[in-house]
């Protein structure tokens, strides 16, 4: 099981666990406020926007070109932004901190 820490707009920390699926699916399964996942995770809606903690970015990796383009639909985009349906859970993500973007 990989542990992922989601931080919501109310500054609550939610420590979640999974060993497969995407970060978006994990968030929806645990009612993380602000992650809607309207398109079901096919990088078409930008309702799964998060900020990855800077120290965890290297482990999470870069957005694909499509994702980077789609991110432009989101608000409050920073260099730490990702669409979390595009991040697959694996042990290399153990303990990463992910903040739900506002907007």
Partner 1 sequence: MSGNTCVIVGASHGGVNCAFELRKQGFDGDIVLIDKDPQLPYHRPPLSKAFLLGGDPTALQPLKAQSAYAQSDIDLKLGVEVESLDVSAKQVVTSEGAIDYDSVVLATGATPFIPPISGLSEAKNSFVLRDANDATDILAAVQNTENTINHVVVVGAGYIGLEAAASLSKLGAKVTVVEREQRILQRVASEPLSTFMTHKHKANGIEIVCQKTVSAVKTSEANQLVVLDDGTELKADMIIVGVGVRVNTELAQASGIETLPQGIVVDAHMKTSISNIYAVGDCTVFPHPTLGDKCHIESVQNAVGQARIVAQTITGKVSTYDEQPWFWSDQFDAKLQSVGLPKDADNILVREEGDNALSVWHFDGEALVCVEAINAPKAYVLGGRWIAKKVLIDKEKLTDVNVAIKDCVL
Binding residues for ligand FES, rule: CB under 6 A, are 24, 37-39, 41, 43-48, 83, 85
68 Cβ contact partners less than 8 Å away, ≥ 6 residues apart? none
CA triple 88-93-95, angle to 5 deg: 135
Binding partner selected for residue 100 from partner 1, ligand FES, none, CB under the kind-specific 5 to 8 Å limit: none
Pick from 3, 6, 80, 83: nearest CA to 40: 83
Distance in Å, CB of 7 to partner 1, minimum: 19
Coil vs helix vs strand at 103:
coil
| Site of tokens 């980077």 | 68
What is the contact mask toward partner 1 in residues 9 to 48, using x (rule: CB under 8 A)? ----------------x--xxxx------xxxxxxxx---
Closer residue to partner 1, CB minimum distance, 36 or 56: 36
Residues that bind partner 1 (CB under 8 A): 25, 28-31, 38-45, 65-66, 69-70, 72-73
């Amino acid at each position: 099981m990989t542990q992922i820490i989601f931080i919501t707009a109310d500054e609550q920390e939610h420590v979640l666990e999974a060993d497969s699926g995407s970060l978006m699916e994990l968030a929806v399964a645990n009612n993380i406020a602000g992650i809607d996942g309207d398109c079901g995770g096919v990088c078409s809606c930008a309702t799964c926007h998060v900020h990855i903690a800077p120290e965890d970015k290297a482990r999470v990796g870069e957005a694909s070109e499509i994702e980077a383009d789609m991110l432009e639909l989101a608000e409050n985009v920073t260099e730490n932004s990702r669409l979390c349906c595009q991040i697959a859970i694996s042990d290399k993500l153990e303990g990463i901190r992910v903040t739900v973007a506002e907007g």
